[in-house]
Amino acid sequence: MPARFRGPPGGVNGGVAVGMLACPIMHHSQRGGVEHAAVSRITARIRAGVSVERDLAVTVRQSGGHFSGALQEGEDELLSATSEVVWFDDAARPGDAIGNPPPDRAADVAELAALPVPEAPPFYVDTGEHPIPGCFSCGPENPQGLYVYPRVVRDGVTCAAWPDASAFDNAERRGDGSLSLAVLTSAIDCSSGVCLPVAQQRELLELDQFFLLGSIDVRYLRVPPVTIPYRVAAKHLGREGRKFYGMSVLADEDGVAYAMAETTWIIAAISRTEAFGGVS
């Protein structure tokens, strides 16, 4: 995995690592002769950091209409996931519907999809420092990143502009005008964590702590075009000790939702200084 996709020091951004499973899962689903398929959901648990610029093994298995996938480095399983796939009579085109949010989250998705980007500085101005400044998704020190900078709407709610996704046409679909799911998943990954209330983020920085993605449940609601501007909105869902929870939504300027994620974040067991060692 190229270094541009980095998240924590030495590791790949969690959303990229999860989303990259969409391609082999889709290919596996097509081996039975079904030509047109789309991944509608990935639920993943990150067991260990996925190293940048290392050789990784990908495994995919099928049971009925459900798939399981994993990323391994040698004998170590770094990430495991389950996935759902939907089939179409014809190839799905950008904008086509894939699925729906779960009923208990439909109102939250609608609320977040309708949020405007506030006239406010990026979240790390309010917290005092960016927790992982070199992050591919939200880091200000990654010149090849997405520049998705969440801004505080109100405490526990953020919204970010993502005006240009055109560089991330879906290569595994031969450049069909849709957004790569690895990049999409990365775009909505970080916001669901940095919507943690500002005071709590400041406290973590004061304690020399930072947080990492532990699990993510992504639902891809529509095939996302690369040609339109997006917004990424998120809300904090609560905290239990070292774990906290969030959700995020990718929407267009008309409030149409293209994807949503529910996440669990874990405060790292080692200090930020120890983890970073002076590396962004």
- Report the run of H or E that residue 51 belongs to, with start and end: none
Q: What angle do CA 261, 118, 106 make, to 5 degrees?
A: 30
d(CA 245, CA 238): 5
pLDDT category, 31, cuts 50, 70, 90? low
pLDDT of residue 280: 44
Edge-to-edge strands, sheet with 57-63: 57-63, 66-73, 76-87, 37-46, 211-220, 257-267, 243-252, 230-240, 157-162, 151-154
Between residues 23 and 223, the one the model is more confident about? 223
How many domains does one find in the chain? Answer: 1
Most confident option among 16-30, 79-93, 241-255:
241-255
Alpha-carbon torsion (230, 102, 218, 240), positive or negative: positive
User: What is the Cα 245 distance to its own chain's centre?
Assistant: 14
- Alpha helices by DSSP H, listed for the chain, are 14-19, 22-30, 106-113, 123-127, 181-189, 191-194, 198-206, 272-276
**What pLDDT score does 85 carry?**
77
The pLDDT, as a whole number, for residue 164 is: 82
Mean pLDDT, to the nearest integer, of 49-69? Answer: 71
For residue 259, the surrounding DSSP H or E stretch is strand 257-267
Among 2-6, 12-16, 53-57, 197-201, the range with the most confident prediction by mean pLDDT is 197-201
The whole-number pLDDT of residue 104 equals 94
pLDDT of residue 279: 46
Q: What percent of the chain has pLDDT over 70?
A: 87
Mean pLDDT is lowest, of 2-16, 91-105, 135-149, 209-223, for 2-16
Task: Over range 11-28, report the average pLDDT.
Answer: 76
Task: Give the residue from 88, 102, 45, 138 showing the smallest Cα distance to 221.
Answer: 102
Average pLDDT over residues 53-79: 73
**For residue 135, what is the domain's CATH number?**
2.40.160.210
What's the average model confidence in pLDDT over 227-249?
A: 95
User: Could you give the CA distance from residue 196 to residue 146 in angstroms, rounded to a whole number?
Assistant: 21
pLDDT in tens, 122-131: 999 998 888 8
Q: What DSSP assignment string belongs to 84-137?
A: EEEE-SS---TT-B-----GGGHHHHHHHHTPPPPSS-BHHHHHSS-SSTT-TT
Q: Which of 266, 17, 262, 226 is nearest to 137 (CA)?
A: 17
Q: Which domain holds residue 238?
A: 3-276
Whole-number pLDDT of residue 33: 59
Return the pLDDT at 237. Answer: 96
Record the pTM: 0.89
Beta-ladder partners of 79: 46, 71
Query: Band of the pLDDT at 210, cuts 50, 70, 90?
Result: confident
Q: How confident is the model at residue 29 (pLDDT cuts 50, 70, 90)?
A: low
Residue 197: CA count within 13 A, CB half-sphere:
7
Q: Which of the four pLDDT bands, split at 50, 70 and 90, describes residue 22?
A: confident
Residues 6 or more apart whose Cβ sits within 8 Å of residue 233: 112, 113, 115, 153, 157, 158, 159, 160, 191, 248, 249, 251
Nearest to 230 by CA among 206, 207, 248, 208: 248
Q: Identify the pLDDT of residue 54.
A: 66
